[in-house]
């Protein structure tokens, strides 16, 4: 009987030690290993895409405004009004004060990536319930549309 008691006591001590009951807290003091998944970059309001910096014209260039207006009429007007009225997509009035120019250009040139990764674009998708189609705008076309958006919001157009 004494052998059984000694054996059970030894087994209990080994069980407690194996389960971390040794009192050693050095592992608890170590920082947890970093995840192998990259943390998302902080949102800088510029969106996701190749457009990192936009130099705005002041005053706006009339030829860019006219080209942007023509692109708007051909590719954008069916879903976006120049007023604040939402049709399929949000209205454009005031968009240049709500969004950075880089975000606007990234949205028009990289709509699929923006809707997948950008929090502001994802919020618009939840609000409008329809994915914006890719209009295949070049960076130059998107820059002209941006110039037109600023003109629509009342920024001065040069001669």
What pLDDT shows up at residue 148? 98
The helix/strand/coil state of 86 is strand
Is 125 domain-assigned? yes
Asked whether the predicted pLDDT for residue 44 surpasses 80, the reply is yes
Report which secondary-structure segment, H or E, holds 67. helix 62-71
Nearest to 127 by CA among 75, 76, 91, 82: 91
Is 139 domain-assigned? yes
Phi, psi of 103 (to 5 degrees): -65, -45
The more confident residue out of 23 and 156 is 156
Is 80 domain-assigned? yes
What pLDDT shows up at residue 26? 57
Whole-number Å distance between alpha carbons of 152 and 3: 93
Asked whether the predicted pLDDT for residue 16 surpasses 80, the reply is no
Question: For the chain, what is the mean pLDDT?
Answer: 88
CB count within 10 Å of CB 106 equals 25
Is 109 domain-assigned? yes
What's the maximum distance between 2 C-alpha atoms anywhere in the chain?
A: 107
Is 53 domain-assigned? no
Expressed in angstroms, the distance from the first to the final Cα of the chain is: 107
The more confident residue out of 31 and 153 is 153
Asked whether the predicted pLDDT for residue 7 surpasses 90, the reply is no
Is 122 domain-assigned? yes
pLDDT in tens, 46-86: 999 999 999 999 999 999 999 999 999 999 999 999 999 99
Segments forming the whole domain that contains residue 73: 62-152
The total number of structural domains that make up the chain: 1
- Stretch 128-149: mean pLDDT, rounded? 96
- pTM of the predicted structure, to 2 decimals: 0.74
In which band, very low, low, confident or very high, does the pLDDT at 28 lie, cut at 50, 70 and 90? Answer: low
What pLDDT shows up at residue 9? 74
Is 29 domain-assigned? no
What pLDDT shows up at residue 37? 61
Whole-number Å distance between alpha carbons of 124 and 147: 22
Count how many Cα atoms sit within 13 Å of the Cα of residue 74 in the half-sphere of its side chain: 11
Is 86 domain-assigned? yes
CATH of the domain at 77: 1.10.760.10
- Stretch 104-110: mean pLDDT, rounded? 97
């Amino acid at each position: 009987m004494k052998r059984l008691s000694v054996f059970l006591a030894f087994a209990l001590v080994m069980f407690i030690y194996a389960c971390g009951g040794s009192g050693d807290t050095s592992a608890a003091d170590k920082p947890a290993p970093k995840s192998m998944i990259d943390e998302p970059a902080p949102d800088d309001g510029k969106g996701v895409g190749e457009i990192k910096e936009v130099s705005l014209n002041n005053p706006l260039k009339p030829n860019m405004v006219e080209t942007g207006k023509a692109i708007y009429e051909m590719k954008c007007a069916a879903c976006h009004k120049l007023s604040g009225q939402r049709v399929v997509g949000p209205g454009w009035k005031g968009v240049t004060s709500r969004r950075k120019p880089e975000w606007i250009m990234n949205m028009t040139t990289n709509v699929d990536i923006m809707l997948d990764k950008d929090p502001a674009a994802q919020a618009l998708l939840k609000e409008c319930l329809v994915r914006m189609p890719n209009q295949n705008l070049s960076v130059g076309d998107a820059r002209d549309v941006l110039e037109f958006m600023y003109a629509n919001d009342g920024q001065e157009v040069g001669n």
